[in-house]
Every structure is written in structure tokens, then in C-alpha cells.
A and B are shown apart, each in its own frame.
Chain A
Amino acid sequence: MKLGFSPEEELFRAECADWLQGQMAGEFKDIKGITTLTAKAERRKEWEQQLAAHKWSCIGWPSQWGGRDATLAQQVIFAEEYARAGVPGRVNHIGIELAGPTILTFGTEQQKARFLPGIAAGQTIFCQGFSEPGAGSDLASVRTKGRLEDGEWVVNGQKIWTSLAHISDWIFVVTRTEEGSKGPKGLSFLMMDVKQPGIEIRGIKQINGDAEFNETFFTDARCPADSLIGAVGDGWKIAMGLLAFERGVSTLGQQMAFRNELDAIIAAAKANGQASNPLIRQRIAKAEIGLRLMRYGALRMLSNTDHSKIDGAALTYKIQWATWRRSLGELAMDVLGQAGEVAEGSEYEWGMLPNLFLFSRSDTIYGGTNQIQRNLIAERGLGMPREPRGDL
């Protein structure tokens, strides 16, 4: 057993912290502390490019494609320092954490050369075309259709919950390319240029007033035949591989952001006297314990020698952090009391904690609801029989 990080890793931490804090105190001071995904999008695209210019944009990627071949521990350290420095979320996180690794794993050399440099440089922003109005938890029931016509894929249908589509350049789309197929069979994975006449984007306003995601309509949208990742009919396999990335490294560094949120709650409780309320004290203690559970769980996952795959413990991570953070939002409101009801500025200009409360309602929904997570844990983790599928 090895607890904590090595001296080399601590040096790396200091290097990350220095650079990130320097940026947030200097040229990019204006974006420090932003908690929504959409605010100041143009400046944050510039931030993506600044990260790239200093080789911090995708440190886990191979150096050949702009990365640093960073170890998993280094990636976690970078993510932690990123959050500690108050840097806002990555507007290209889908490109860096999902599209890039998917292309690296399943793409051809030509596809790597075509997409990876732009993603690494912060020039190509990606969004994800998975969910549809009729395919949410039941993701395999996608109906968006793709057909080959004169050397091009022609796509028709609708995607929804497409985060940041309105500022994206490219979208990866799971489409049904085999006529009459059902479920996970007959799907293919396509890369498409968002900025074309056949793709229409409409924003969806959220309960916190932000509009991070969109409806995306495809009407004879087109892409070249070689935009297909993997083979025709491999779409489900690739989508599932991609979701494993989503459950992997990208969530492990979250705990520092969570630490910031819990610290803000503790500071608020001290300021308004709730810190002496025994009921609140107990819940703060429970939140602290929950955070430490995640912390040590992540370190355990990191300690696995085979870093290429995330094991069964990772199955439980999503529900654990999502439920913990949702409770954290509730605790924040109980600490603030009525002060949490009032926005600091104009409508929907929430402070960090009320926004946490509203946003965290989505944590137990996106990326697989808690109910789907329990099914996965029971069916894949515990080997229980699958819930019967109907045929509506």
C-alpha cells in the first residue's frame, strides 16, 4: 500500500499550481471562478488555446498528438490543481476527454491526423450526439438514421441534451445505419461538421437559467464516408468505450472542486451562525466523510496497476459522487436559509451555492441516472438478471 503521492508527483503538483494560479492572477483573471459552462464562452475558447500553447490542454494524450504522456496520477494532480486555482470548466472537455480518447482508441491514422491536432490546440470544439427524445436511459433505441449516398453519409433525425452544441465545431453522432435494426445492433459512429445547413441547433433553458445544452436537428446533414469511426455497425461498441472514458479519469479530479464547494458551505455556516447548529454540524461532518470516501476510493482506483481499464469499483463511483453532491446542494441551502433564495444580481445571477443546489439536481440524471447506475451495479457488478425489456 502506498498512501499519498511521490516526491516527483509533488514536484509536478507545484509546477501545475504555479502555472495555473499565475494565469488566474494574470491574463485570464476575468474568467476565474466562473461556475456555469456557458459564461464568457469566447474567452474560454482563448483559454483552451492558452492551455494548448503551454502543453497543458491534454496532458494524458501521447506526446505525438500534443499531450505529455502523463500518468493517471499526474492527470489527477493537474485536475485537482485546476479546480483549486478556481479555473472554470473546460469548454472543450468533450473534445479532450471523450472525442480525443475515442479517436485515439478506435480511429485510423488518417482520422487521428485529421482531428487530434485541432482538438489539442483548442481550435476544434466538440459536442456529443448520443441522447434523443426517445432514447435517454434506453440509449440503444436511437432513431436518427444515416445512409451512404454518393460517397457521403446523409443523416436525418434529432439529438437532444447536446451540451455546448451552440459553440461547437464538430459533433460525434450515434446513428442507425442498418434499416430496420433494433437496439444496439446496426448503429454507427460518425464525426460531423456542426456548421452546415443540415444541422440546426436550438437552446434549452435550464432551471438555473443557464442554457448549456441544446436540441440538434439533422435534415439531410452530410459528412464524407471516411468520417465513420470503426466499422459500420460498431457504433454501440464505440459509444460504450467512450462512456467508459467519461467514467474514468475525467471524474477523478473532481474532488478538489467538491472541496471548494464544501469549504464555501463551511465558511457560510461560520459567517451566519449555522456552524453552531448541531443538526448542521452533523451534516457538514457527514459531507466531509463522504468527500473522503471519494478521495480514498479514487486513490485506490489509481493504485491499480492496469491503468488502461477502470474496474468494478468504478461502476459505483458515478452514483456515489452524484448523490453526495446533490446532498451537498441541499446542505448549502439549509446553511444559507432564506438568504439562499435571493439572487445576488439580476435574475439567475446566482451565487456559487444556490447555483450548486440547482445544478446538482442534474448530477443524478446526466451520464446515466441513479436508477440506471443501480441497474448497472446490480446487473454488471453483481451479475443479477436484467430487468425485462418490453416492446413498445
Chain B
Amino acid sequence: MDFRFSDDQLNLAEGVRDYLSGTHGPEVLRRLDEHGNRDPAIWQGLVQMGLTGLCVPEAQGGLGMGLPEAALIAAECGRACLAEPLVDTAFVGVPWLVAQGQLGGLEDVVAGSRRIAVAHAINPWEADGDGAALTSVDPLRNLSVRVERSRDTSAPGVSTTLDANGEGDDLLLNLGALMSAAQLVGLADAMLDQAVEYAKIRTQFGQPVGAFQALKHQLANCSVAIEFAKPVVWRAASALEHGLESAPVHVSHAKVAATDAAMLTAETAIQVHGAMGYTYEVDLHFWMKRSWALCGAWGDRAFHLKRVDDAVLGGALPIGPQHTFA
């Protein structure tokens, strides 16, 4: 067993991180918050990096990569608090279509002319869909009422909604939950970085507040929660990629761990920022609100705990002597 990512995978993620940190800083989030929430230029940049085609098979002009790579990039999207619907389109919608053998129109996804909004029974509404708009706690999230529609996934267009059309397609649910978990660990990393930086520069009682154990212990707790959540997310990506029977439980485990890490970090980061953390002026709240929104999306903590619970107590998971728990 080898839990490491390859150098190629890590280089890809690092490239995306560098690109987003250079082009998608907090000032961009504030600009989008004031004007329109979305920017075609940002989308075009993602297209040019090949990210919309990351999971599209090479025969359709994509990069043909799998869910572990997609999860790594989704984490980078979380770190940057990216608002464009890249994750839903390219890492949830595309893998689902490919698994169904519906390859028509994927060239348009690669080219960026087609986006996919994903509707599922577990989410009362959809992100970047075309139903009546709702106001989300996340100022950059374009939420709308879920619209029941026929499954038209072949026609190219600016935005196509993918509807599993049934109540509860499991693969779609697992993809959505997995990619939410991946974004959450990236969001948590970014919030921890912001809190650590602030604790270094804010002085009280004649020294940086980060010197106080009362603060540094809390940040240490966040770091532990995040670093323990990450491998669980990557494990879930791998299990889903290989179609393991236990994949849904891995996904649920990942969603719970990532939710706990992100919420702990969001809450701690506000506390570490003191009253500044409670203001709109400090960037932190963008990440916190995205975290909050994603924690509830694709099955909340209780839903996924119950899936784990059922699997453990209902005998679906082979556990006990003679079984590993990989």
C-alpha cells in the first residue's frame, strides 16, 4: 500500500495553487461580491489551464485524470475560495456523465462553453443552476431553487443542469460529498494560515498574541483536525475511483472529518482574530461562509454519520478479526 501522491499529481496541484494565489486573491472575492459574483475572465483562465477537462477522457479532448487528482484540485479551489462552478462542472458532473457512458457534449465542457449545474434530491436547491435565485449565507454562492427537468445532457450550452432525475443517485451523491469534503480541507488550510498570520502580527500585553498558549493550543488543535482529515478524503477519492463497495462509507467518513476540521478551524480563526474576525472587513468570513455552506451541502454531518453508523452497526462493513480496515 502506498498512500503518497505521485510527483506529477503534486506538481499539478501546486501549479493550480500558484495560479489561483496569483490571480484570485481576497481583493477578487470582494470585487465579485460587489459585482455579479462571477467573472468570465476567471472561468476562461481555468479553461486554459485544462481544468474543465481534467476528468474528461482523452478521446473527448480532456486530460483523462481520475478522482484523486480532481480531489486535489478541489482542495485548491477551496483554499482559494473559488466561486466559479469548476468543482460542480468538472469534478462532479463530468465523472458522473463519464460513468454513465454519456460522452456527448464533453468537448464543450473542455472548451469552457458548457457548464454543468448539478441537482440531486439531497440538496433542496442547486448551485449555479437556472431556477429562481435564493440568497445564500455565502455571498459568492449562486443558489437557486431546484428545478425538475428532463435529463438533457447532450445539448451544448452555456449551462446545462445535470439531474440524476431520481431521487438519490448514489454515485452522484458520493461525488458531490467527496468534492465538498476536498474543498473543505482546502478552505480549512487557508483559514488556519490566516489565523496563524494574524496571531503573529497582532500584539497585546507587549507581545504577539500567538505567543500565548491559550491561542497557540487552539490553532494546534485545528492543525491536527485538518491533517487527519486529509488522508481520509484522499482515501475516499481512491475508493470511489476504483468503485469499491465500501466507497460510500469512506466518502461519508471523509465528509464528517472535513466538516469537523473546517468548522473547528472557522470558529477558532474568528476567535483568534478577536473582534476583527467578526467584521466584514477581514477576509476570513468569505472562507468561513463557504465552509458553512459546503458542510450542509451533499448531506450534512448527521446524514453522513448515520451512513457510517448504519454501515458499522448494520454489518455492511467487514470489521473485526481477520479484516483490515483500509
Chain A residues within 8 Å of B, Cβ to Cβ: 131, 134, 136-138, 141, 160-161, 204-207, 209, 274, 277, 279-280, 326, 330, 333-334, 337-343, 345-347, 354, 361-362, 364-366, 369-371, 374-375, 387, 389-392
For this complex, 9 residue pairs linking A to B, each with C-beta atoms less than 8 Å apart, are A207-B279, A341-B138, A342-B143, A343-B136, A346-B135, A369-B271, A370-B271, A387-B205, A390-B207
Q: What total of chain B residues lie within 8 Å of the partner, measured CB to CB?
A: 44
**Judging by beta carbons under 8 Å apart, are B143 and A365 in contact?**
no
Bits for B174-215, please: 1 = Cβ < 8 Å to A, else 0. 000000000000000000000000000001111111011011
Cβ of B125 < 8 Å from any Cβ of A? yes
Among the 9-residue stretches B101-109, B164-172, B246-254, B297-305, the one with 4 or more Cβ atoms under 8 Å from chain A is: B297-305
**Judging by beta carbons under 8 Å apart, are B278 and A207 in contact?**
yes
**Judging by beta carbons under 8 Å apart, are B300 and A337 in contact?**
yes
Nearest 5 CB-CB pairings of A with B: A390-B206, A390-B207, A138-B204, A371-B214, A343-B135
**Judging by beta carbons under 8 Å apart, are A371 and B212 in contact?**
yes
Write the nearest CB–CB distance from B220 to chain A, whole angstroms: 14
A141 to B206, CA, bound (A): 9
Interface centre among A137, A209, A341, A354 (most CB of B within 10 A): A341
**Judging by beta carbons under 8 Å apart, are A205 and B275 in contact?**
no
Given A277-B302, A338-B297, A342-B136, A204-B281 contact (CB < 8 Å): yes
Cβ of B285 < 8 Å from any Cβ of A? yes
Write the nearest CB–CB distance from A372 to chain B, whole angstroms: 9
**Judging by beta carbons under 8 Å apart, are B136 and A205 in contact?**
no
Given A366-B275, A392-B207, A280-B212 contact (CB < 8 Å): no
Given A338-B124, A375-B214, A204-B279 contact (CB < 8 Å): yes
**Judging by beta carbons under 8 Å apart, are B279 and A131 in contact?**
no
CB-contact partner of A365 in B212, B277, B301, under 8 A: B277
A375 to B213, CA, bound (A): 11
A345 to B277, CA, bound (A): 25
Write the nearest CB–CB distance from A359 to chain B, whole angstroms: 9
Chain A residues contacting B301 (CB-CB under 8 Å) are: 334
Chain A residues contacting B296 (CB-CB under 8 Å) are: 333, 337-338, 340-341
B83-121: which have CB < 8 Å to A? Answer: none
Write the nearest CB–CB distance from A4 to chain B, whole angstroms: 37
Chain B residues contacting A134 (CB-CB under 8 Å) are: 203
**Judging by beta carbons under 8 Å apart, are A341 and B281 in contact?**
no
Chain A residues contacting B215 (CB-CB under 8 Å) are: 371
**Judging by beta carbons under 8 Å apart, are B300 and A137 in contact?**
no
**Judging by beta carbons under 8 Å apart, are B285 and A207 in contact?**
yes
**Judging by beta carbons under 8 Å apart, are A279 and B305 in contact?**
yes
Chain A residues contacting B281 (CB-CB under 8 Å) are: 204-205
Chain B residues contacting A136 (CB-CB under 8 Å) are: 204, 274-275
**Judging by beta carbons under 8 Å apart, are A206 and B204 in contact?**
no
**Judging by beta carbons under 8 Å apart, are B205 and A389 in contact?**
yes
